[in-house]
Structures are given as structure tokens and as C-alpha cells.
Structure 1
């Protein structure tokens, strides 16, 4: 009897952990890949079409940095949009059976550039790695984001 209860408990923890780890929905602290400083808080949610979108909900103050109010040299439809509230991630699709998300787009509102994007969620679901690139993933940059929820 105790063996069955232990087995059921372990199985439920295993399966609930995997379900949680496969979903990037939530609130994330964006960490700058160059300085290691917190940049912004991003809320990611799943759309009706099963893709994921991420919006800036807070710009994190940093010493020696004056945040911009609007997107810098951004192409349409982002031209002169406020950074706060901007959807910076669009179109990410979950790769079935993995903790990977691909085929998305991400905009850097400070540089005004739009990149291809993919995300890998770690096994605990508490960190993700966003890879932004143009054309070939190996020529891109990565950022680690930390789940705040």
C-alpha cells in the first residue's frame, strides 16, 4: 500500500513538472546577455492560434541607464511605439514532445531590429534561453530569462 502511494506521488510530481516545464506562459525577468543586468519584465501568453506572444510590462531601472520611451528606429508596425506594452515576441510555436519553441520573431526596441527567435525552456521551467538570430541560429545571440511567478 505505501509503495503504491509513493509511486503515485512520484509519478504525479514527475508529470506535473513536465507539464509546467513545457509552457512558457508567465512573467519573466529579461537578463542582458552583455552586462548581466535585469532589463525588463516580459509577460508571455498563449494565443488562440497556439502561438506565444511576449509583451513588455515593466522596464527595469538600471544604474547609469536612462530608458527610452519609444522604439528606436523600429520598422512598421513598431515605428514610434511606446516600449512599455510593446509585443516584442510573436509567433513562437511549441515543438511537440520538447521544451523548445521555434519559428518566432523578436524585436529589439533599443536597436530597432527584428530577428528570428527560438526559446529553450530548462527542465525545471524556471529559466529560458531566448536565441535571436538573422537567418542562421549559430550567428545569433542568447539571453537567459528567469521566471518570476
Structure 2
């Protein structure tokens, strides 16, 4: 039985193809969540790739081990974590983040947005 929390290991899926992109570990540090890329799963991807499009302290850091989720906190009385940022290493942009466990915690809706525009990915918990 999965838990209704984003903490754990997740497989991120490509929005367009549904193919696995990466494996991300989300950890809780005193009520604040962070997430690091553990493995790149995309077929043909360079395992030594770096975030060359990043503009902050993550610039030119390896994708594997990269902290892509920072600062998310649980909304009071809800099973939603928000207030943090998520980085898309493919374009170097950071987005406002909302994490919502669904389907008993076996899946995670990951929404990144800038203003009124955004997109939601569904990640699958790795058992």
C-alpha cells in the first residue's frame, strides 16, 4: 500500500510519448521536500549529460544527482505540496510546483507553472 505522500522514488514520464524519462527520489527535510534525479531512463540519453541550460547554481552540473525539486511544503489540511520550484533540465527553466499524490499514492501529479500557464505530468511510484 503506497502512502499519500510525494516522498519516495518516482518514474517521470514524457508528456508527449509516455516513455520513461528519469527516476527521481523525493525526500523530506523537516517538512520541506527536495527531489534529485537518480537515473536517466530516456533511451539514448547521455548518462554523463549536464544541465547546460540551467542559469543558477545547477549550471553545468550532471543531470544524475541534480536537485530538480526545491522547497515544496504540505498545504495545511490537504494532501497537496506546493510553494516550491521544479527545474526542467531540458530547457533550464524553473516553474512553480504543486505535487498531488493520486490513486492511493501510487501516482503523483506534478504540476509546473509560470503564471496561469502550466502543465501536469503524472509520475509513477517505483516499488
TM-score normalised to the size of structure 1?
Answer: 0.79
Contact 2:23 2:37 in 1 (8 A): yes
Distance apart, 1:110 and its partner CA: 1.1
**Residue aligning to 2:22:** 40
SS in 2 for 1:80: coil
Q: Shift in Å at residue 98 of structure 1?
A: 1.9
How far, CA to CA, are the matches of 2:11 and 2:95 in structure 1?
Answer: 20
More helix by share: 1
TM-score normalised by structure 2 residue count: 0.91
RMSD: 1.6
1:134 maps to 114
Please give the alpha-carbon distance, in whole angstroms, between the structure 2 residues aligned to 1:78 and 1:142: 23
Q: Cα distance, 1:78 vs. partner? A: 1.0
Deviating above 4 A after TM superposition, structure 1's stretches of 4 or more consecutive aligned residues are none
Which of 89, 103, 114 is matched with 2:94 structurally?
114
Residue 144, structure 1, aligned to residue 122, structure 2: yes
More strand by share: 2
Q: Decide whether the 8 Å contact of 2:19 with 2:42 is kept in 1.
A: no
Which segments of 5 or more consecutive residues in structure 1 lack a partner in the other structure? 1-15
Q: Which digits, 9 at most, give the CA deviation of each residue in 1:17-53, with x for residues without a partner?
A: 7xx21x21110000111111100000001012x1110
Equivalent pairs, count: 126
Larger radius of gyration: 1
Rounded Cα–Cα distance in structure 2 between residues aligned with 1:24 and 1:104:
13
Q: 2:69 aligns with which of 82, 89, 110?
A: 89
Q: Is this contact kept in 2: 1:126–1:146, CA < 8 A?
A: yes
Gaps of 5+ in 2: none
